[in-house]
Structure 1
Amino acid sequence: MNYSLGIFIDGSYLRAALISKGNNKPVVEKLETFKLYEQLDQSKEYANGSQAGDKTQQPNAGSDEKTLEIQLADFEEQTSSTLISQAQSNLDVISELVHRLCPSRTSVSFNLNDSNVLYKNIANIKESNITKTKKAIWREFNEDVRLPAKLDHIGFIKHHNTRILGLLHDDPLVLASMLLEINKFSKSNQVNIKLIDTIEFALAHEIKQSYSLEKEEYGAVIVFAKAFTKIFFMHGDLVIAVIPTIDEGSNSETICETVFSKILFEFDSGNIGPLSRLFLVGEFHQANALQFFKRKLPALPVQGFNSNRAIISGDIDQKLTKIEEYGIPVSLALKALDRKSLLPYNHNFLPRRIRDKQSVYKIAWHGAAMLFILFACVLFLTHQIIVKAMDIKNAEQQVTTMEKEIESKASVQSELDSLGLKMAILEKTVSLLDSLNQNTTRWTPTIETVSAAFKEVGPFYLERLETPSAGRLLIESQFSDRKQVAELERFIAKSMVMNVVESEESEKEAIRLKLDCQIRKEPPKKATTKKSGKK
């Protein structure tokens, strides 16, 4: 549940409205009025020496009279202790207001003090940039270019043409300082100042949301307060003119006549068109304004302003409480509850110094720079992690694909291994055959000669063949006839009988012969081919 407290500063009175908002429509929970011991405003001087509270000297927003310029000295930040020492009694009243109406962490909104706000219609400002527009408005209010422009104190509304309704305030925001001082001593009822706005802009924002206004129709809004009366005009949903504040409250007997004459003057001057609506805000019942304007303007719809966006809680006695008198604090509280204010009323004059005081973590420029660097580093590292993760994922997919390919080719690999084994066996066999072929071809001619001799000489026994050295062959054989020895020696060329031994074995004669043969090398025989000729 969100809570918003709207406070309307009305001279020495504070009107407060507490609104809660959950998932449904906002609910007005409490409405109360508090009396201060003294007013909160502190006057500033104009260029002509008059006081800021003297609104009779202000220029008419819609007239051609010469505009008085504000002499704005530097808006010096005043410490809370100085302000509180000047209004200790007021601090007690505001402390009571906070404790009675504010749950913890309630958002607070209040209006700028009317005596410190000036409006001016400015023509021919064509700046599109907001900062440049505010500087142009500052120059319209103050011709002394040596003074630095306080852009936070300036607001404006652009009309459909090049005209602008400019606003300048010099409110010292005493109420804000008191609320901050109360926060220091109160732990249970901490409040958060969320919105500071003007009466006119807050009401116009709520009128735009609560009523259907045609783009071309003109309307007037009259605010009756105890200390003053205000009039401003709207064209469609835009505020086009703000009449200088009338320093008479709702208890004045002539206030209705004064307001009526102001409206007639603006109409006769041609500053506004024919009115289509008239809204009465605040204490208009006490001034009998509703009956007065219905009598004076019978053809014009006159109605008391009441927000249509909020419902009234059953705890509020509507017979005893005049709800219409709390139109301004209700409008402020509802605007603070909105997530985004509607254009062109998205103003908030809450200064940065108060935002910083309410901020739990205040960061200087170097802290912000470090946070930016840290964020950039985190962003870079996150990017690198994502890139590396994608690379790893791609690599894993490649490994999976390769493993599948290896599994599919395992059978081929086994076949290759078996073929390789067979090739190794064949290579060993071929090398053995090559070695045998090399060694046997040397003895082939001699062995062939011995074989031929065996056929010619007759049968004999070869007992031993020996090669004592390269090119020699020793043959040991056994014969049964002496003639065979001589024939064998003659048959084998380059042979020499080394030894002949005769013996008798089994009643038979045996002759053992040892023959030394010289190995003859024959050239390899050339292959012959048959040639066929034609007859």
Structure 2
Amino acid sequence: MVDESETPSSNELLLYNLFSSVDAKRVDLGISIPSGQTIFQILKDVDFSDTKKKDLQVIVDDRLESLHGISKGEDYYSYSVREDGALLLTSIDDEPQLLTLINRTLELYNGKLFIHEILPDEILLLGLIRANYDLDPNSITGVVQFSENSTRVLFLKGNQLWIVSPIITESLKSQRFLNTVFSKILFQLDTGEVPNLDRLIICNNSLGDEAIEFFEDRFQDVDVAEFQFSEDFFEAENINPSSIVSFTTAIGAAWSASGLKKEVFPKISFLPNYVNDRQKIFKLQWHGMLLLLFIMLTPIVANHFYTQYDTDIDRLQGEISTLDAQIQSLEPTVQRYNQISNELSQIQSKLTLLSELNEGTLRWSINLDLINRGIEDVNSIWLTSLTPVQNNNIEINGYAIYRDRIPELASLFNTTTLLNVRSDEIREKEVYKFVYIIKDFFENEEIYTPESVQGIRELIGNLHCHTQSEIPLYC
């Protein structure tokens, strides 16, 4: 449908018009996943170069389940082992929205549409920088990607991805935007995760010289510049350079789909299997017609063999009738069995609920006890709020009189992520406000399971084994 102003009335129609204007018969695409939607885990402490694929898959599954709380389908994660032996593991929560929109647009577009790559913005930027810059193996490069509502900061050591900082959600239009980005970079330097900074590259820089001058003033010994394409790969004679800035990652997606210098991009891909299978069907040519002929001949061949084995079929049908009669005679026994199974399932559900209620009460009691004892030992620090967030994590806000008390607090817990630290003033005294996300209070989850709850779980397990020990003959 098109309205009276002749503008598309839906995103699907807008894409259809775009595809048709490019080529009514075939369109080749590369898709980017917006920055911040991909979770990065870089395991550098172990050399995975010689790890067997089966063992590596176990490690990957364990890391993903620990992070997301559930196992992930193969379309929602991708990993590769780098030349230095580190494991680069990436994952997403949902299918990219653009891919979902393209799938709906296929109902309108009659041509063939090939999606060659689906990559996160962060991976596209890494590939573009590798292709267009000469990076010293020992140098540290900071990469800042601006966008309207969020900003991502990456750090490279040589040409390898070193650290992916948490997403910055401050709007580009905010007056504090540049200061916030600066504080995030400074925080990485202060913690020692990034030992130094030699170069800062700003991508999608819609603020122009304002951003360049801001970072040059604060990092006087660092080479600060906008991302620039090498003239060896990109010609922009008839294009306004200022218009290229906002399309850096879009150009990167097209570049990755073209296959040009494919070796500079990490072996990461979020192209789903169903899209691959669909595109294989598109590629069928003469052999596809031959396959269609075989399919047409199948009923004739099947009928020939059916006639040959007609006697065997009659005998087997008689055996089936006899078995049906036996099954009917056992039906009352099966019904009684199903009734007992239902009763056992109800008991098991009640025991499971009781176990969960006990575990939740004990979990909070133990966690709060750890916080109380830890605060008393650390001192000069106080908490203002504890808030549950997604994936069963806990967000802690508080103040510390001394900055070194903040990491001491973090050491109380097994797995924590420091989101923010900033100075503040209370009663004319400088203090430090901090925000932590606690993922795991303790390394061993069994601390939340007392002997009484373990007994309930053993009883649940016994009931489950009992319900699975008999296989009904008829349902």
Q: TM-score under structure 2 normalisation? A: 0.52
Q: Which runs of 5+ in 1 are unaligned?
A: 1-35, 38-87, 371-535
Say yes or no: does 1:307 pair with 2:229. Answer: yes
Q: Is the 8 A contact 1:113 1:171 kept in 2?
A: no
Question: 1:142 maps to what in 2?
Answer: 65
Which secondary structure does the structure 2 equivalent of 1:136 belong to? helix
Q: Please, which of 127, 132, 149 is the counterpart of residue 227 of structure 1? A: 149
Q: Please, which of 265, 280, 290 is the counterpart of residue 202 of structure 2? A: 280
Question: 1:195 maps to what in 2?
Answer: 117
Question: 2:181 maps to what in 1?
Answer: 259
Q: Is the 8 A contact 2:38 2:91 kept in 1?
A: yes
Say yes or no: does 1:246 pair with 2:168. Answer: yes
Question: 2:52 maps to what in 1?
Answer: 129
Deviation at 1:238, TM superposition (A): 0.6
Q: Is the 8 A contact 1:356 1:362 kept in 2?
A: no
Which secondary structure does the structure 1 equivalent of 2:281 belong to? coil
The one-letter code of the counterpart of 1:166 is L
Q: Is the 8 A contact 1:232 1:243 kept in 2?
A: yes
Deviation at 1:217, TM superposition (A): 0.6
Q: Give the structure with the larger helix fraction.
A: 2
Q: Is the 8 A contact 2:13 2:105 kept in 1?
A: no
Question: 2:257 maps to what in 1?
Answer: 336
Say yes or no: does 1:290 pair with 2:212. Answer: yes
The one-letter code of the counterpart of 1:177 is T
CA shift in 2, pair 1:334/1:137, >3 Å: same
Which secondary structure does the structure 2 equivalent of 1:184 belong to? coil
Q: Please, which of 336, 351, 361 is the counterpart of residue 272 of structure 2? A: 351
Deviation at 1:300, TM superposition (A): 1.0
Q: Is the 8 A contact 1:281 1:304 kept in 2?
A: yes
CA shift in 2, pair 1:126/1:274, >3 Å: closer
Q: Please, which of 74, 78, 93 is the counterpart of residue 155 of structure 1? A: 78
Deviation at 1:126, TM superposition (A): 4.6
CA shift in 2, pair 1:111/1:266, >3 Å: same
Which secondary structure does the structure 1 equivalent of 2:225 belong to? strand
The one-letter code of the counterpart of 1:178 is L
C-alpha separation in 1, matches of 2:129 and 2:235: 18
Question: 1:173 maps to what in 2?
Answer: 96
Which secondary structure does the structure 2 equivalent of 1:246 belong to? coil
The one-letter code of the counterpart of 1:110 is I
C-alpha separation in 2, matches of 1:346 and 1:146: 25
Say yes or no: does 1:185 pair with 2:185. Answer: no
Q: Is the 8 A contact 1:229 1:245 kept in 2?
A: yes
Q: Deviation digits for residues 387-430 of structure 1, max 9, x if unmatched?
A: xxxxxxxxxxxxxxxxxxxxxxxxxxxxxxxxxxxxxxxxxxxx
Q: Please, which of 239, 244, 253 is the counterpart of residue 323 of structure 1? A: 244
Q: Is the 8 A contact 1:219 1:277 kept in 2?
A: yes
Q: Which runs of 5+ in 2 are unaligned?
A: 1-6, 292-475
1:407-446 correspondence to structure 2 within 5 Å = none
1:5-24 correspondence to structure 2 within 5 Å = none
CA shift in 2, pair 1:143/1:252, >3 Å: same
Q: Is the 8 A contact 2:154 2:164 kept in 1?
A: yes
Which secondary structure does the structure 2 equivalent of 1:231 belong to? strand
CA shift in 2, pair 1:166/1:175, >3 Å: same
Which stretch shifts more, 109-118 or 261-270? 109-118
Which secondary structure does the structure 2 equivalent of 1:289 belong to? helix
Identical-pair percentage: 20
C-alpha separation in 1, matches of 2:187 and 2:70: 36
CA shift in 2, pair 1:161/1:193, >3 Å: closer
C-alpha separation in 2, matches of 1:197 and 1:183: 21
C-alpha separation in 2, matches of 1:203 and 1:138: 27
Q: Is the 8 A contact 1:222 1:281 kept in 2?
A: yes
Say yes or no: does 1:108 pair with 2:108. Answer: no
CA shift in 2, pair 1:138/1:254, >3 Å: farther
Q: Is the 8 A contact 2:137 2:159 kept in 1?
A: yes
C-alpha separation in 1, matches of 2:152 and 2:281: 38
Question: 2:126 maps to what in 1?
Answer: 204
Which secondary structure does the structure 1 equivalent of 2:263 belong to? coil
CA shift in 2, pair 1:208/1:181, >3 Å: same
The one-letter code of the counterpart of 1:326 is F
The one-letter code of the counterpart of 2:74 is L
Q: Is the 8 A contact 2:44 2:85 kept in 1?
A: yes
Q: Is the 8 A contact 1:157 1:239 kept in 2?
A: no
C-alpha separation in 2, matches of 1:154 and 1:122: 15
Question: 1:120 maps to what in 2?
Answer: 41
RMSD of aligned C-alpha atoms? 3.3
CA shift in 2, pair 1:111/1:322, >3 Å: same
Q: Deviation digits for residues 436-465 of structure 1, max 9, x if unmatched?
A: xxxxxxxxxxxxxxxxxxxxxxxxxxxxxx
Q: Deviation digits for residues 101-155 of structure 1, max 9, x if unmatched?
A: 5675232111124453212243544542345434313312323999554334323
Question: 2:87 maps to what in 1?
Answer: 164
C-alpha separation in 1, matches of 2:137 and 2:234: 28
C-alpha separation in 2, matches of 1:287 and 1:157: 37
Q: Deviation digits for residues 9-54 of structure 1, max 9, x if unmatched?
A: xxxxxxxxxxxxxxxxxxxxxxxxxxx99xxxxxxxxxxxxxxxxx
Question: 1:31 maps to what in 2?
Answer: none
Deviation at 1:277, TM superposition (A): 1.0
C-alpha separation in 2, matches of 1:284 and 1:259: 15
Question: 2:413 maps to what in 1?
Answer: none
Which structure would you say has the larger Rg? 1
C-alpha separation in 2, matches of 1:144 and 1:342: 29
The one-letter code of the counterpart of 1:91 is E
Which secondary structure does the structure 2 equivalent of 1:295 belong to? helix
C-alpha separation in 1, matches of 2:41 and 2:267: 19
